[in-house]
Amino acid sequence: ELKVEQNPLFLSMQEGKNYTIYCNYSTTSDRLYWYRQDPGKSLESLFVLLSNGAVKQEGRLMASLDTKARLSTLHITAAVHDLSATYFCAVDNSRSQGNLIFGKGTKLSVKP
Amino acid sequence: DTGVSQNPRHKITKRGQNVTFRCDPISEHNRLYWYRQTLGQGPEFLTYFQNEAQLEKSRLLSDRFSAERPKGSFSTLEIQRTEQGDSAMYLCASSRDRNYGYTFGSGTRLTVV
């Protein structure tokens, strides 16, 4: 059974600092997705990572994928308050028709 | 492209009642998914359609749950004889291709009292 673990689950940061969220998964998969969710809202797609070594950047966020280590990272550079949200990684369950297995999410709070 | 639309946004129902939710995917997306999300958790897969065919169902989808996508366009999710444990956010997502990712709707928040 495919399992996805994120850490940390809670992260309190000061504005201007850097930090990394980790996403480990238990079986082979070559597609990984990062989503952002604001309280009471739906999920906003951030990154789609499709191959080993993939790196994507958007603003202060950068995501990478190492399929051999079964690890993805979401790096936050010089955090600002607007980045406060819950971040989910999701792994494509290749054994099925492509449903996603989500981690529990990392709740990020950026404080002045 | 108006995104994935879900109705209603909120539903409060008494235990034992039936409820139905609707999802309108992005028009050119032939894949449609239903997920359920409870407080503090990531979404959990319920079922998947490709066009009008329901190709996969999770073990979470008990026999009180049924989903349809009659013409390969919109989809409905019905829960019969609701229980308090059914209280959750029900999310619909659509996709053209797994390589392009999945677009989620705003969800329907169900509260069973």
Residue A14 pLDDT exceeds 80: yes
Residues of A with CB below 8 A from B104's CB?
35, 42-45
Query: Could you say which of A41, A43, A99 has the minimum Cβ distance to residue B56?
Result: A99
What is the pLDDT of chain B when averaged over all its residues? 93
Q: Given this model, what pLDDT does residue B60 score?
A: 83
| B33, B103, B105 member nearest A99 (Cβ) | B33
DSSP characters for B65-89? EEEE-TTSS-EEEEESS--GGG-EE
Whether the Cβ atoms of residue B50 and residue A97 lie closer than 8 Å to each other? yes
Confidence at residue B14, expressed as pLDDT on a 0 to 100 scale: 98
Tell me the average pLDDT across A16-40: 92
CB contact under 8 A, B106 and A41: yes
Q: pLDDT tens digits for A46-98? A: 999 988 889 999 999 999 999 999 999 999 999 999 999 999 999 987 676 66
pLDDT at residue B19 greater than cutoff 60: yes
For the residues A4-14, what does the mean pLDDT come to? 95
Q: Do A50 and B58 touch (CB under 8 A)?
A: no
What does the buried/exposed string (b/e) look like for A44-61 if buried means 16 or more CB atoms within 10 Å of the residue's CB? ebbbbbbeeebeeeeeeb
Give the residue among B51, B41, B28, B18 at the shortest CA–CA distance from B91.
B41
CA A100 from chain centre, in angstroms, equals: 13
pLDDT in tens, B95-112: 988 777 899 999 999 999
The residues pairing with A35 across neighbouring beta strands, listed in sequence order, are: A45, A88
Amino acid at A38: D
Task: Tell how strand A55-58 and strand B44-50 pair up.
Answer: unpaired
**Which among B90, B101, B89, B79 has a CA at the least distance from the CA of B31?**
B101
Residues of B with Cβ-Cβ distance to A104 under 8 angstroms: 40-42
Which of B44, B45, B92 should one mutate to test binding to chain A, selecting the residue with the greatest count of A CBs within 10 A?
B45
